């Protein structure tokens, strides 16, 4: 399992980064990104701390943990500059909190995130086919979410992505220990989205390829 969307107590998660990583390792994870919620007010504060943790951790372990950020409920017109700033600050995974149907995310967030070239569009809700095609063209990963509420549109996202060949990823959006998945649980989420085991294999390849690119760029 590679999970590129998780939260620590630097935003609304309940675990410090060290415990989040240790619990992920115990679940059999291969890699993890810590992507706490941010807007302009806390972007620099959060990324600096996650980067520091990841750098220190990697000196003592071969487990891959990456610093990231989830731009959350920000105005669509700010997504591009915030993405650029996040990468300059050291975020290796930039996630945007997509237009989930269970929260009042500003309309236009999905498209702005895709146009900004983020890495992952999380729980994109009732994303349009035009937007899915844009994700395909830019190689942006569309998230199948294991998180309650956000998972309600997994079937819609999966169907459109398969129709046009856009890349999918499975993330937990973990906030608490019990949100982390083992491989059997992950497969059930995939099957619940109307996908099949072969799709799960492709999703895992997408995640591994993304991690490979990060490691190559280091």
Contact (CB, 8 A) for 143 and 120: yes
Q: Please tell me the predicted confidence (pLDDT) of residue 144.
A: 98
130 class by beta-carbon count within 10 Å (0-12 exposed, 13-18 middle, 19+ buried):
exposed
Q: Taking Cα atoms as reference points, which of 159, 158, 153 lies closest to residue 101?
A: 153
* Domain residue spans of the chain: 2-217
For the full predicted model, state whether its pTM sits above 0.75.
Answer: yes
Q: Read out DSSP for 156-177?
A: HHHHHHHHHT--EEEE--BSSG
Q: How far is CA 18 from the centre of its chain?
A: 19
Give, in words, the CATH class of 2-217.
Answer: alpha beta
pLDDT tens-digit readout, 21-49: 999 999 999 999 999 999 999 999 999 99
Percent of the chain whose predicted confidence (pLDDT) is above 70: 100
Contact (CB, 8 A) for 12 and 173: no
Confidence of residue 78 (pLDDT cuts 50, 70, 90): very high
Q: Please tell me the predicted confidence (pLDDT) of residue 218.
A: 59
Q: Please tell me the predicted confidence (pLDDT) of residue 66.
A: 98
Write 135-138 long-range contacts (CB < 8 A, 24+).
135/161, 135/166, 135/167, 136/164, 136/165, 136/166, 136/167, 138/114
């Amino acid at each position: 399992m590679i999970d590129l969307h998780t939260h620590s107590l630097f935003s609304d998660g309940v675990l410090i980064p060290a415990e989040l990583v240790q619990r992920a390792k115990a679940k059999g994870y291969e890699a993890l990104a810590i992507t706490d919620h941010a807007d302009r007010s806390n972007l620099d504060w959060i990324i600096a701390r996650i980067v520091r943790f990841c750098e220190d951790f990697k000196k003592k372990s071969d487990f891959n943990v990456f610093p990231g950020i989830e731009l959350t409920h920000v105005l669509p017109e700010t997504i591009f500059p915030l993405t650029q700033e996040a990468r300059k600050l050291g975020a290796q995974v930039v996630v945007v909190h997509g237009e989930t149907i269970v929260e009042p995310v500003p309309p236009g967030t999905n498209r702005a995130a895709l146009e900004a070239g983020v890495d992952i569009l999380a729980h994109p809700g009732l994303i349009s086919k035009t937007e899915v095609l844009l994700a395909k063209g830019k190689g942006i990963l569309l998230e199948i979410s294991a998180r309650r509420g956000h998972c309600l549109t997994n079937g819609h996202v999966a169907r459109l992505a398969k129709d046009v060949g856009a890349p999918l990823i499975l993330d937990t959006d973990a906030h608490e220990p019990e949100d982390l998945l083992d491989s059997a649980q992950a497969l059930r989420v995939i099957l619940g989205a109307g996908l099949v085991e072969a799709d799960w294999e492709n999703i895992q390849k997408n995640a591994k390829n993304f991690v490979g690119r990060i490691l190559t760029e280091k």
